[in-house]
Amino acid sequence: MAKAIHAMIRVLDEARSVEFYARAFGLAVADRFVFDGFTLVYLRNDEADFELELTINHGRTEPYALGDGYGHVAFAVDDLDAEHARFEALGLAPRRIVAFEREGALMARFFFVADPDGYQIEVLQRHGRYR
C-alpha cells in the first residue's frame, strides 16, 4: 500500500517561506539538505508525518510562474473561526470563510490564504472527510 509522504513547492526565499509556514501552520524544519544548485527543506509538525518540501533553486531571482495547473495544499484545523482571526492578526490576509454545501448538508467550511510565493492554501474546519 502506498503512503503519501510529502508535497513539493518551489520557493524564492527560504527564510520568508519557512517563517510563513511556521507562523501560519506551526510547521518547523524537520530536515534541510544543501546540494549544488538547490536546497531542499522539509517542514512538518506533530499533527502528521506528511511534510511540505520547499525547493530553493540557488541563484533564482525571478518569482515562479504558478500557471493554471496548480491547485492548493490543504490543512485541517479544530477551530476555523479562531484560526481565521489569528491569520488576520498576523497580517496574513486570509480570504473570507466559505461554507460549502452538497445536497443540503454542510460538506466543508474553509478559507484560503496565499503563501509568500502565491501558492494557495486551503484551511478547513475538521469535519466529515476533512480530518
51 tagged catalytic: no
Task: Say which of 19, 53, 103, 122 is annotated catalytic.
Answer: 122
What does the chain look like in DSSP terms, one character per residue? Answer: -----EEEEE-S-HHHHHHHHHHHH--EEEEEEEETTEEEEEEE-TT-S-EEEEEEETT--SPP--TTT---EEEEES-HHHHHHHHHHTT--PPPPEEEEETTEEEEEEEEEE-TT--EEEEEESBTTB-
**Residues acting as catalytic residues:** 122
